[in-house]
Structure 1
Amino acid sequence: MRTPARFAGLGLAAALALTGCSMGGATASETEPSSTPMGEEMTDETTTVDTVNSDGAGLRATLTALLTDHVYLAGAAINQALADGGDLEAPLTAAAVAALDENSVEVAAAVGSVYPDAEEPFLESWRSHIPLFVDYTLGKVSDDQAMVDEAVSGLEQYAVSFGELINSVVPELPAEAVQMELEMHATSLIAAIDANVAGDPEYFNLLKEAASHMPMTATALAGGIAADRNIQ
């Protein structure tokens, strides 16, 4: 699995490419005053698009919030499971897992709001990667390297299959770019889990870092969906 730093660069490049952003020099619109109100931009057809309240902006904001919540809820569930000695049926752990699953349902619903037929396959796929983080954590706690390796392998395979699933629904999103985003998610969250298991206070910063990658992922997903469905 690649390093987080490398993923961050690749993921950003993919997000910028998918959403049509440019890293070039300043343009006339950047150096001259604009008469277009803040939060609006001019399209090629010279019509004004509200970039704050548009459907595309709403989708990006929704995915950003839900995917960021996903990381923090996963961290909370794993942290509580560790506190409960790995007992996934303990009341607090079960409640944390239920909140995480509710978040998964909401992420799938956001995708389903644009692709109704894809909502259930997306949910089934998305749910399948969460137990792999649990297995990784339990393997670390029990010093079961085989369990750890199997979980890491499962997460790598999931990233590939998830990329293919998204690409089959949204052709504008290359499978490899989606795969890299998921690998970054796995790598950064695993780093936080390792710190938590070791009792390292750096856990909190690492969890925050893992969450900070998700807006980039949300931008890439929302940009691809908007391009596919011509959403402004």
Structure 2
Amino acid sequence: MRKVTAFAGLGLAAALVLSGCAAEAEAPADEPTMEQPAPEAEAPMIDTVNSDGANLRAALTALLADHVYLAGAAINQALADGGDLETPAVQAAVAALDENSVEVAALVGSAYPDAEQPFLDSWRSHIPFFVNYTLGQATGDQELADQAVADLNAYAVSFGELINSVVPELPAEAVQAELEMHAVTLLAAIDANIAGDPAYFDLLKEAASHMPMTATALAGGIAANLGLQ
């Protein structure tokens, strides 16, 4: 089998002011009075649901999961249309996938504006490798399929280096490993689709199930880099 070397809630510190009920008769001057000490302020709490870091992680998770399913849909349509990438159905599927790429890049750009276009250019570049692998496997062109795997290997390395150059808290090797897992699982789904194996659907789901881990890694590094909670 091939081997693809692969983002407060401010805790409210409320001082409780206690007032005693006024008595109708004035208390004797020598009667001792007791004051109740104010309670200590509560420690601030971090909102891990609505924080900027959590919102970034959630948005990345959704978009990356969509990426897997949209890629699967485009490849499935291309196979259904006999490998013709120019049919209206295939073109529509490819356009939806590219719109997702633009959305992922825009999310990265919301944190690092100067990195948005380089990220988009890089992200777009790996999608044709999956197409080439599909065409190679479907037509028996092993050289084309093998070259696509090699291209995905090289892409994982270059993408890791790109992300690390923007977010030093994210090691290039860790990002590379996430991309390798993405490639391995999606290629397995493509193989099943070409073979007409019903396991295709479970394998595509498995490929998508890895995206939350990728989103957590990326969002965590960005949050650390920008000081987000």
Which TM bucket (shorter chain)? 0.7 to 0.9
What is the deviation of 1:107? 0.3
State the alpha-carbon separation in 2 of the partners of residues 52 and 120 from structure 1.
29
1:198 maps to what in 2?
195
Cα distance in 2, alignment partners of residues 94 and 53 from structure 1? 37
Amino acid across the alignment from 1:214: M
For residue 46 of structure 2, give the secondary structure of its aligned residue in structure 1. strand
Counterpart amino acid of 2:44? Answer: T
Q: CA deviation at 1:67?
A: 0.2
Report 1:66-105 matches (<5 A): 66-105=63-102
* In 1: Cα distance, 2:118 partner to 2:61 partner: 21
Q: Which position in structure 1 is the counterpart of 2:182?
A: 185
Q: 1:139 aligned to 107, 130, 136, which one?
A: 136
Task: Give the partner amino acid of 1:80.
Answer: Q
- Name the structure where helix makes up a greater proportion of residues: 1
Q: How much has 1:185 moved relative to structure 2?
A: 0.1
Superposed CA offset, 1:24-53 (max 9, x none):
xxxxxxxxxxxx9xxxxxxxxx42111101
Alpha-carbon shift at residue 2 of structure 1 (Å): 3.8
What SS is found at the alignment partner of 1:113?
helix
For residues 160 and 73 of structure 2, what CA distance do their matches in structure 1 show?
Answer: 26
- Structure 2: runs of 5+ lacking an equivalent: 12-42
The answer on whether the counterparts of 2:161 and 2:172 sit within 8 Å (CA) in structure 1 is yes
What is the match of residue 228 of structure 1?
Answer: 225
Amino acid at match of 1:146: E
CA-atom RMSD in angstroms = 1.7
Partners of 2:4 and 2:175 in 1: CA distance? 16
Relative to the length of structure 1, the TM-score reads 0.81
The percentage of aligned residue pairs carrying the same residue is 76
Contact 2:4 2:153 in 1 (8 A): no
Cα distance in 1 between the residues matched to 2:48 and 2:3: 34
TM-score (norm 2): 0.82
1:1-232 map, 5 Å: 2=3, 46-232=43-229
Gaps of 5+ in 1: 8-18, 20-35, 37-45
Matching residue of 1:16: none
Kindly report structure 1 stretches of 4+ aligned residues shifted beyond 6 Å. none
